[in-house]
């Protein structure tokens, strides 16, 4: 039997939080949370969820969120299993919360999320390899093949050398840790 996360609208979540009846748990990675989050949300990245200690009042409703609701939907069994009683999800995630005009804490100085940095870097390298392959020498197509092979390996193994390299860049060092809110 599958666990269910009951959907709540942004307005319903806000009302429950304002009444002190709910705790919002953001399951995005810490770099995403650092960039933007609902004020007062608790950061508990999905990547370390099972080892995390959720310190939530047993009487409070637990509402999970991510950016769009896709991650929470994909992990509903894992999430609901950590909650006594009913578990909830912010329908549409942080995007729906912001679209509803509700407050969002943003830090534009925080680095862009690592996954987006990887996508931009990989896409740029593939494009560069194709352009140079056509304009300079066919050997440059190898750059695109190398990046494609790296992305395939990252998907199969769950490790990404490009992400690890990007995390070492100076612009990503300034905000390496953010305390849970």
Contact status, residue 177 vs residue 110, Cβ threshold 8 Å: no
The residue from 66, 89, 96, 166 that is catalytic is: 66
pLDDT tens-digit map of 108-153: 888 888 888 999 999 999 999 999 999 999 999 999 999 999 999 9
pTM: 0.73
The question of whether 160 is a catalytic residue gets the answer: no
Comparing CA positions, the residue from 170, 118, 116 lying closest to residue 147 is 118
CA distance 126 to 108: 28
Domains and CATH numbers, the chain: 5-106 (3.40.250.10), 114-173 (no CATH)
Q: Where does the pLDDT of residue 31 fall: very low under 50, low under 70, confident under 90, or very high at 90 and above? A: confident
How many Cα atoms are found within 13 Å in the side-chain-facing hemisphere of 121?
19
């Amino acid at each position: 039997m599958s666990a269910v996360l009951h959907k709540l609208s942004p307005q319903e979540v806000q009302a429950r939080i304002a009444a002190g009846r709910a705790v919002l748990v953001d399951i995005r990675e810490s770099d995403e949370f650092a960039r933007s989050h609902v004020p007062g949300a608790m950061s508990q990245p999905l990547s370390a969820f099972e080892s995390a200690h959720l310190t939530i009042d047993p009487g409070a409703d637990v509402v999970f969120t991510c950016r769009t609701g896709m991650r929470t939907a994909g992990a509903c069994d894992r999430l609901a299993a950590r909650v006594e009683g009913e578990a909830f999800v912010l329908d549409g995630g942080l995007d729906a919360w912001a679209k509803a005009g509700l407050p969002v804490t943003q830090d534009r100085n925080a680095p862009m999320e690592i996954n987006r940095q990887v996508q931009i870097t990989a896409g740029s390298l593939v494009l560069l390899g194709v352009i140079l392959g056509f304009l300079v020498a066919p050997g440059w197509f190898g750059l695109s093949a190398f990046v494609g092979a790296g992305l395939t390996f990252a998907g199969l193994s769950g490790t990404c050398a490009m992400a690890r390299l990007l995390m070492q860049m100076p612009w990503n060092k300034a905000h390496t840790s953010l305390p849970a809110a």
